[in-house]
Structure 1
């Protein structure tokens, strides 16, 4: 959906911002997103910052408050940008340090991404913030599994291997995904910035408590989409992340199937830019599922054939 621009922020909030950071010289809004909230790089006569803001009564407001709580508890040298200023007067306004850099190129920078995730394994294991478990109602994994169950119950024409998918989802247990660590839960390339100091993760709105292997697992299909074979993507995770071996096989099977069927259900819904991204990702998720469940027709040494 289209985002609000900087001009939509109420004048009192803009005045308070300028009192703190200086007169605004220019603003650049990020492209459309999953919420209408402001997401803008703001250049003032003192510095450059990144601003997220949304009306306090918006249905998306709780995710902004979650980001605020996480930022307050984040270690000084954590993997996220620093939160510089907050206002909650009608609009929730979060002002973050600006990260000079670019979104990661996963095919070329997978090891740098993993270094950030391994660092998180240590620094975020005991962050003092109350968060739901990733399997709680409404959280990332619960949403994926619920979508998978709906698709399995009423499969679209042409969906193969429904019985295998059903067994994969049924076999997984909630405690397979138990963990006390703070996990990002949405490690998309759009949420990872390559900087001179390494990869930093932004947009912690879906963060939750879970096992430390879940973020690397959520990167397997994006790695396949970037050019890895499914076997190479899992080997990368096993080689670089100390906790990958702790992931139960049935949990990885269920996660792979759930992500595939979530995309299957949502493939043509939402804005066109979002549907396009889901269509591009679908074949990579199918490749991962085929690899894990043994249903692949063509898995090559370099990549997965879309033919």
Structure 2
């Protein structure tokens, strides 16, 4: 369920003042439409710089997402936006991130962004998982696995993003090739098997027009994908079909139904692999 978005101008005056201690008086505020976790999401500028601000009330049911993003940010050099400051005051938790330039990744077949996303996932696969509190993949999928024994396929020690929605991937065409893509929104960072993010990408690729075969071909560009046992991939596809069936039933929206259709197609494909 999406969090209700409010404008930065509705912050308490003391919270706004605390932000401007880091930014100086704001000159422009552009509210961001994408994303589901934050009440505040805006790109702001002042005479001293540009930031992307994310915020939630400290008593919000999803306040943990702010804490998770603040904790993981120092470990994401070259993968995600740098966290420049954090303000906790007047009942609000506000994060000031580096404002990334670029466009949302295009996952459609033949897109020039696909090699950049694959390079990004390869870099992520080489990044050590920090010793901070993270959810575990086998816990997150526990209710959705077709067989309890399937859960061991998902367990591991790798750092995972797990939300490969194309709007969470920004591609800067002016950056060096192979380093153009960055991942935002790390609230669902997880510890698990090294191939799972490639698997999550497969789902979004199918939802973007790929056949399951084509999507798995793209995933094969990530070395970790080749560590996955075939039965583990099949179990992952089945579990995610259950995830998206539940989400799309509770919140029948065009995009949730699209993901439910994609995961169903992948599971059916895995039955004949």
Which residue is equivalent to 1:55? 57
Match of 2:202 in 1: 220
- Residue 171 of structure 1 and its aligned partner are, at CA, apart by 6.5
Query: Is residue 186 of structure 1 aligned with residue 163 of structure 2?
Result: yes
Question: 5+ residue gaps in structure 2?
Answer: none
Equivalence for 1:157: none
Contact between 2:86 and 2:94, CA under 8 Å: does it hold in 1? yes
- How many residue pairs get aligned? The number is 262
Q: Give the C-alpha shift of residue 262 in structure 1.
A: 2.3
Q: Deviations over 1:11-64 (max 9, x none)?
A: 111112112212112222222643352111112232221000111111111111
- Give the 3 Å change call, closer, same or farther, for CA 113–212 of structure 1 in structure 2: same
SS of 2:250's partner is coil
Structure 1: which 5+ residue stretches go unaligned? 150-168, 296-307
Q: Distance in 1 between matches of 2:122 and 2:38?
A: 33
Match of 1:44 among 38, 43, 46: 46
Deviant stretches of 4+, over 4 Å: none
RMSD: 2.0
Q: Distance in 1 between matches of 2:242 and 2:201?
A: 17
TM-score (norm 1): 0.79
For residue 22 of structure 2, the aligned residue among 20, 23, 30 is 20
The answer to which structure has the higher helix fraction is 1
Distance in 1 (alpha carbons) for counterparts of 2:184 and 2:258:
23
Contact 2:168 2:184 in 1 (8 A): yes
- Output the CA distance in 2 between the equivalents of 1:249 and 1:171: 17
Alignment CA distance shift 1:29-1:225 (3 Å): same
- Rg comparison, structure with higher value: 1
Q: Partner residue of 1:68?
A: 70
Cα 1:114–1:172, aligned 2, differ >3 Å: closer, same or farther? farther
2:232 to 240, 251, 255: 251
Is residue 2:107 matched to residue 1:130? no
SS of 2:259 mapped into structure 1: helix
Match of 2:270 in 1: 292
Q: Hey, what's the Cα distance between the residues in 1 that align with 2:217 and 2:135?
A: 30
* Change over 3 Å in CA distance of 1:128–1:35 after alignment to 2: closer
Partner residue of 1:209 out of 180, 185, 191 = 191
CA 1:117/1:46 → structure 2, altered by over 3 Å: closer, same or farther? same
* 1:172 CA displacement: 4.3
